[in-house]
Amino acid sequence: MDKLVSKLNMKKIRKDFPILGRKISGKKLVYLDNAATTQKPKAVIDALDEYYEQRNSNVHRGVHTLAEEATEAYEESRKKLARFINADRREIIFTRGTTEAINLVKFSLGFEKGDEIVTTVMEHHSNIVPWLMLKKKGIAVKFVDVNEDGLLEEEQYDDLITEKTKLVTVAHVSNVLGTINDVKKIAGIAHDSGALCLVDAAQSVPHMPVDVKQLQCDFLALSGHKMLGPTGSGALYGKKQLLEEMEPFQGGGEMIKTVSTEKATWNDLPWKFEAGTPNIADSIVLGAAVDYLQKAGMKNIREHEKDLTKYALSRLSEVKGLTIYGPEAGDRGGVVSFNLGDIHAHDLASVLNDDGIAVRSGHHCAMPLHTRLGIVATARASFYLYNTPAEIDKLVASLKRARKVFRL
């Protein structure tokens, strides 16, 4: 761990995040809720201030200096994000995050009665609820199960996918189990049957190198706030040919080419799917977050989290009565969900908070998975590039204290 921490220059990285200097209940903050949202480096915070102080203007609609500067920054951010996942800039649609990106596909892909959608029980609600909403239109939704190790029962795809399957959708990384799914393989299975593949990459793009061409997916959704960027920012990647064939998500200004009292024609990609005034500031600042991640190095971040997760699983095994969910360290992202005895996850999280440790508790917007596991809730620690082994040690010490508090 020391070599990896040194490689990432952890001392400098932690100084870049002002909030890490906070104290909670008189104790230094240990932030382990990164799967919910990540903290922001000073460079990202400054980029937001700089936009509003220097170039606040609407985009694509003016020839004055501020408008031109805002438009240039907005489109440059799109290019940065496109390069980050190896896409064409025209294939990047700015959205408010993963949820809106998935809903864009739901509304625009053109589902018809009799179509089928195959998803999994480990999905976040944002990759389940939109599809369930289509059931009233006569569209079937099928679910791939997980095994006891938290891995997908991949052989079920052969039975669930039929000639009626229009879309196969899957999380790249589970936000509860940390399972890293073989998206390239699943996309191949979908394509062999004539179906499309959508990937929920909210928990992968921020934490590891992601190449949409290598994954061979048709759509990929991501959230900016989970990758050091602002809340309300994100994007949908879609293959250019598919996006050109799809109908617009919303109607209004900017997404049009011509309008008369009889009809309207649509703008070119990507603006065809960005109706109205977009979230200009946060989309621009997302580019600053991409800059920060690239400077740190996505391979470095992935290796750091792999080692940190391995260390966490080893240390957590020392806590008597602790149940950990998900696969082995080498097969998972930096997410560890657990329960301690019969303590409710919310009560456990409250005790940890008294020690300045922030973890998530509940069903993590994954109720079908928790039902499948036979539990109501879990506590979840999730790591990022600024977390350290010393923080894992504090988590373990706090869990041991919780055993005494609840007399386990």
3-state secondary structure string across 37-105 = CCCCCHHHHHHHHHHHHHCCCCCCCCCCHHHHHHHHHHHHHHHHHHHHCCCCHHHEEEECCHHHHHHHH
* First-to-final CA distance of the chain: 32
> Do 27 and 355 contact (CB within 8 A), yes or no?
yes
Edge-to-edge order in the sheet of strand 219-223: 92-95, 234-238, 219-223, 196-200, 165-171, 116-120, 140-144
- Pairing state of beta strands 196-200 and 219-223? parallel
User: Cβ of 111: how many Cβ atoms within 10 Å?
Assistant: 19
> Do 358 and 30 contact (CB within 8 A), yes or no?
yes
**Three-class secondary structure of residue 285 per DSSP:** helix
Output the CA–CA distances (angstroms, integers) from residue 386 to 170, 198, 376, in the order listed.
28, 30, 30
Any alpha helices (H) in 155-211, and if so which ranges? 156-160, 183-192
Please name the residue that has the structure tokens 């440790």.
Answer: 357
Closest CA to 196 of 217, 171, 222: 217
Please name the residue that has the structure tokens 């996309």.
Answer: 187
Q: How many angstroms separate the CA atoms of 111 and 161, rounded? A: 16
Q: Please list the helix, strand and coil fractions of the chain in percent, rounded to the nearest 5, in that order.
A: 45, 20, 40
**Of 29, 365, 375, 405, catalytic:** 365
Q: How many angstroms separate the CA atoms of 326 and 373, rounded? A: 10
Q: ∠ CA 349-350-354 to the nearest 5 degrees?
A: 115
The sign of the torsion formed by the CA atoms of 371, 373, 375, 376 equals negative
Per the annotation, the verdict on 365 as an active-site residue is yes
Q: Which sequence positions are flagged as catalytic?
A: 365
